[in-house]
């Protein structure tokens, strides 16, 4: 699925849809009955709205967020990848083959790809970057801190105004 679909259908959300979405962003495991009490509807009405939001692809997943540091991956890196002429496919294959690259974006600047990767330390970072040497220039920036922003919630809340 593309990050930005080429022909998105704009969903129309009302205030209740937004309250449901925000509650699920806080806790995706919230039981429908509790969610219904929270938004002031019957459980059946909330379940129907959730199905519609899923069908309209407003809600596309319910998932767990992992603490990667607990798993030993305490270094996060933004990796910029600039393939050599004619080597974009090889660079893409290396990106897709690396389990430590968690997300990757095709971008408009000279780098072509910007990836989020995790590492257990400098050696891990080197081991992930080294296979790119014949096909691309790479540069890495260690992430020192993630700013505590309310992410997509503030965008959705804007819809209420």
Tens-digit pLDDT profile for residues 101-125:
999 999 998 889 999 999 999 999 9
pLDDT at 2: 43
Per-residue tokens: 13: 């959300």
Q: Does 5 score more than 80 pLDDT?
A: no
CATH 1.25.40.10 fits 15-64, yes or no: no
Does residue 37 or residue 150 have the better pLDDT?
Answer: 37
* DSSP-assigned states of every residue in 73-134: --EEEEEEEEEPTT-HHHHHHHHHH-TTEEEEEE-SSTT-EEEEEEESSHHHHHHHHGGGTT
CATH number for 75-142 (one of 3.30.70.920, 3.40.50.2300, 2.40.50.140, 3.20.190.10): it is 3.30.70.920
How far is the C-alpha of 76 from the C-alpha of 68, rounded, in Å?
9
More confident residue, 105 or 146: 105
Instruction: Tell whether pTM > 0.85.
Output: no
Percent of the chain with pLDDT over 70: 89
Every domain of the chain and the residues it spans: 15-64, 75-142
What is the mean pLDDT of the segment spanning 131-152? 88
pLDDT reading at 150 higher than 70: no
Alpha-carbon distance values, 44 to 7, 13, 29, 41, 93 (Å): 31, 18, 17, 8, 45
Q: Check whether 155 has a pLDDT greater than 80.
A: no
The contacts of residue 77 (CB under 8 Å, 6+ apart) are 116, 117, 118, 119, 125, 140, 141, 142, 143
Q: What does the pLDDT read at residue 161?
A: 57
Q: What is the pLDDT of residues 18-66, one digit of tens each?
A: 889 989 988 999 999 999 999 999 999 999 999 999 999 999 998 888 8
Equal fold, 15-64 vs 75-142? no
| pLDDT of res. 4 | 44
């Amino acid at each position: 699925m593309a990050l930005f679909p080429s022909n998105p259908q704009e969903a129309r959300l009302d205030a209740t849809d937004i309250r449901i979405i925000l509650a699920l962003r806080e806790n995706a495991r919230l039981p429908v009955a509790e969610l219904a009490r929270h938004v002031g509807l019957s459980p059946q009405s909330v379940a129907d709205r959730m199905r519609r939001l899923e069908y309209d692809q407003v809600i596309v997943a319910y998932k767990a967020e992992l603490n990667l540091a607990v798993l030993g991956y305490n270094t996060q890196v933004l990796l910029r990848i600039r393939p050599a002429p004619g080597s974009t496919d090889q660079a893409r294959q290396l990106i897709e083959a690396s389990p430590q690259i968690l997300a990757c974006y095709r971008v408009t600047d000279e780098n072509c790809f910007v990836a989020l990767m995790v590492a257990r330390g400098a050696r891990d970072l080197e081991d992930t970057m080294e296979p790119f040497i014949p096909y691309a220039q790479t540069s890495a920036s260690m992430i020192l801190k993630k700013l505590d922003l309310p992410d997509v919630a503030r965008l959705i809340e804007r819809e209420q105004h």
